[in-house]
Every structure is written in C-alpha cells, then in structure tokens.
Chain A
Amino acid sequence: MNAITLSGLYKRFGAFVALDGVDLTIPAGCVFGLLGPNGAGKTTTFKCMLGLVRATSGTVAFDGAPLTPATFEHIGYIPERSVLYDWMTVREHIEYMRHSFARFDPSKAHALLEQLGVGDDRKRVRALSKGMRTATAVALAFARQPDILILDEPTSGLDPINQRTVLNLIINEAARGATILFSSHQIGQVERAAERIGVMQRGRIVLEGAVDDLKAGRKIVEGILPSETFAIDGFAANPNIDRIERSGRVVRAFVHQQPDAVAADLTQLGAGGIRVVDLNLEDIFLDAVSPGTSTASVVEEA
C-alpha cells in the first residue's frame, strides 16, 4: 500500500517553474528522505502536498484519496519556517494543540520537550533560540502521533545531540509504523534514518530508490586500458553504465547496477587493475545533481 502518491505535480510562480512534473510514491511505513540543492522544489512539494500552495496541475493522494480535513488529523507537518506564535508560551501551544487534534498527547509533548532540552514551558516562543523553536515544533508534531509525518528540515538549527534525538524520534515513529517524509541537507542523517531517498533538482525527481540498493548498485568500475586510444565503444554501450570518464589509459565507468558484470566486461576487454569503488550517499547525490563533481572522483584522481 502506498501512503503518499504524487503524480505529475506541476507548479508555476509567474514565469518560474518551481515543480516540473514531480512523480513520487512513498510506501506505507517507509521513511523517505528528500535531498536536493536549495531551490530544487522540496519545500514547494511539501506545501503542495498539504494544500498550503495550490499546484498548477497534478495530483496528490494519501492512501489513494485526495487530501481532506479528516486526512489532516493523521498528518503531522513541520514547516521549514516555524509556525509557532511568538506571543504564546510553549505551554499555551500544548493546550492549543490538545484542543485542535484529538490524538494529541500532552504528556508525550512534555516528555519530548524535556528530552530536547526545552525545560521551561512557561517561556514565550519569542524568547526561544532558533534551535529551541525547532525543538518545540518537533515535540508538538510528534506528540500528535500522526500516521504520516512530513518534516521540512526537522534538524536545522539543532545542536548535534538534539539532531541525534530527532533522528531517533523518527526511527521510533517508523518502528511504530508511521510513514515519514523528511528533507535535510545533512546527507549523513538521511543515510541513517531513511530507507528510500529521492533527489530533487530544478523541480524534478532526478534519482529515487532504496538507500541500500543505490549503494549496492552504484559503483565506479575502474580499469587501465592497453593504450590511451584503445577503442571501448562496445563496452561503453553497456546499458548498466551511466557515463564514462577517460584519463590517459585509465577508464572509469559510473555504473548504476550490476557492477560485477561491468567489471567482468572490462576485464574481457583486456583492461588491467580493475577496481570497483564504493560510493556513499553523498557521492551518489552529488553525481545525480552534477555529474563529475562527486568526492569519489576527486579522491580517485588524486
């Protein structure tokens, strides 16, 4: 069952195309990490999903149905910019949430605030640091015990200890069966908490898949050819290869699946020194958004 399905989501602001046909499917119970450079369209995607911004065209479905007020009861959302009221205290926010959402658990909110170091709930939001505001927003969203959590950079501004706490909250909710979609610039966090990832660029999903499968399939297969001008046309046509870089006698194939088969082909060709280089999520991300800049390439050339 798919918890969230985006089909052909398109959004134009004047002449600017923010979303250029986003198709995305998030299975129920999945933690999905959305990566992308600033301005790629992550926040606009979240807002369109929640009806906070009206998409120019395309559809969003939760459990196969369009968003309704009833659906909203089951969705927790942490926006990129805090929606807390400056003039209200943290405790007043808890009261407000308790009245607004049937499943909101005030004692869980207090426990999470304690855990995240927001000790004094009589403080007005205005008096909180940026990190403490984020922590408060996190505590309020998680205390609603939603089936679906949509988190726009939920760790931004948090210290490393609270970042880890929030990751563990995500893991805890995932173990409970919640579906979680979150964005982050911290690839290491996504690498830990997410089962699947999507990479957005210029309003499109340019890469999507299970983190472990991407790592298992995406490798650099490197070899040394008999000569600088050695013809490799047949090898280069292998559909498992995304692109090839040559430098002198060294050939490097960026592979998206079956790296061992590609390595065998390269051996067959008469190349020596065959190596299969692992790529981590950062390498895979960088290669997806701008081919040729991944740290792996730089390290290998050194």
Chain B
Amino acid sequence: MPAILTVDPRSGVPIYLQIIEQVKRSVALGALTPGEQLPTVKQLALDLTVNPNTVARAYRDLEHDGVIETASGRGSFVRAGNGAANVSLAAGRDVAREGIDAALREAKSLGLQRSDVAHLVELSLTRWFPEDV
C-alpha cells in the first residue's frame, strides 16, 4: 500500500485529507481490497514521513465514512463483510463528487447559468457514458 500512497506536504491541502482521498481512490479502484490490512498508523507515518496524529486523524475519518474498520489491537482493514461490495462504490462516489463539485463551483464563478451548466453536464455524460443515453 505505501507504494500507491503519496502525499505532498507542501500542498495547501491538509495532509490528512490527501491520505483520505488516496485511500478512497485505492479502494474504489480495487488497489485496496475488502479485508485488506492497512499499515499501522506508525508505519504509514514513517513511510510518508508525516506526523502520526495526522495519519490517525485520516484513519478516524475513513472509519467514520465506512471505508475502513479498526479492530482494537489487530489494526485497520478495508471494510469487508455484508457492505463490502458497496464500500468501493461509495468510496468512488466520494472521490468523484469532489471533482464534480469543484467543476461546478468553477462554472458558477465564471458566471454560467444553471441551464448552461446542465447542458454541459449532459454533453459530458454523453461523451463518457454513451450507453446510458
């Protein structure tokens, strides 16, 4: 897992948010599979050279979002069991929502109207999801 996780501490985006985003992305893409163990807080902090409390905060939020679960004394794992199939879908939705939100915010700040934006969204949908038209 460390191989697919990197953070840019010099970014203006808080490090714990970068970790959350990347874990969700990895779960959505199946690079992290249900039941797979994550590094311990200490190990990931050392791998990324970031503060351990920052990693712990990311893990807490990921647990709160239902992406991972922590068994006391055993470590943290990608959520498995009944809801497992939905976890990667939900994680993918979370990541995609951020991107869509950013694009629409940009459109609004450029002065576009709701109807303009709806039209643009339609065009994008047709391009990327043609089978659903």
Asked, given contacts A171-B51, A193-B51, whether A272 binds B109 with beta carbons under 8 Å apart, the answer is: yes
Q: How many of chain A's residues touch chain B, expressed as a range?
A: 35 or more
Q: How far is the CB of B11 from chain A (nearest CB, A)?
A: 6
B124 at interface by CB-CB < 8 Å: no
A177 to B, closest residue via Cβ:
B52
Query: 17 extra interchain contacts, Cβ-Cβ under 8 A, other than A31-B51, A174-B45, A215-B12?
Result: A167-B49, A168-B46, A168-B49, A171-B42, A172-B42, A175-B45, A175-B46, A193-B51, A211-B14, A211-B15, A212-B54, A219-B12, A223-B109, A267-B108, A273-B110, A280-B11, A283-B12
Contact of A193 with B49 at beta-carbon distance under 8 Å, contacts A278-B11, A280-B10, A280-B11 already known: yes
Q: What 1/0 mask marks residues of chain A from 200 to 240 whose CB sits below 8 Å from any chain B CB?
A: 00000000000111011001000100000000000000000
| Inter-subunit contact B53/A191 (CB<8 Å) | no
B90-118 to A contact mask, C-beta < 8 Å, 1/0: 00000000000000000011110000000
Q: A171-B51, A272-B109 are in contact. Are A191 and B9 (CB under 8 A)?
A: yes
**Could you list 13 examples of A-B contacts with CB < 8 Å?**
A171-B45, A171-B46, A172-B46, A174-B51, A175-B42, A175-B45, A192-B9, A193-B49, A193-B50, A193-B51, A195-B54, A211-B51, A215-B13
In the complex, chain B residues whose CB is within 8 Å of the CB of A174: 45, 51-53
The 8 A CB mask of B29-48 against A (1 = contact, 0 = none) is 00000000000011001100
Kindly state whether residue B59 has any CB partner on chain A within 8 Å: no
Contact A272:B12 (CB < 8 A) given known A30-B53, A167-B49, A195-B53: no
Tell me what chain A mostly uses at the interface: helix, strand, loop, or mixed. helix
Nearest-neighbour CB distance to chain A for B90, whole angstroms, equals 23
Binding site for A on B (CB under 8 A): 9-17, 41-42, 45-46, 49-54, 57, 108-111
**Contact assessment for A191 and B54 in the assembled complex, using a CB-CB cutoff below 8 Å:** no
Tell whether A199 is near chain B: CB-to-CB under 8 Å.
Answer: no
Nearest CB in chain A: distance from B107 CB, A: 11
- What separation, in Å, do the CA atoms of A167 and B50 have in the docked complex? 9
A168-B46, A175-B42, A272-B109 given as contacts; is B12 within 8 A of A192 (CB)?
no
Specify which chain B residues have a CB less than 8 angstroms from the CB of A175 in the assembled complex: 41-42, 45-46, 52
- Which chain B residue lies CB-closest to A214? B14
Q: Please tell me if A97 contacts chain B, counting CB pairs below 8 Å.
A: no
Cβ contacts under 8 Å, B46 to chain A: 168, 171-172, 175
Most buried by B among A192, A194, A213, A278: A192
Residues of B within 8 A of A211 (CB): 14-15, 51, 54
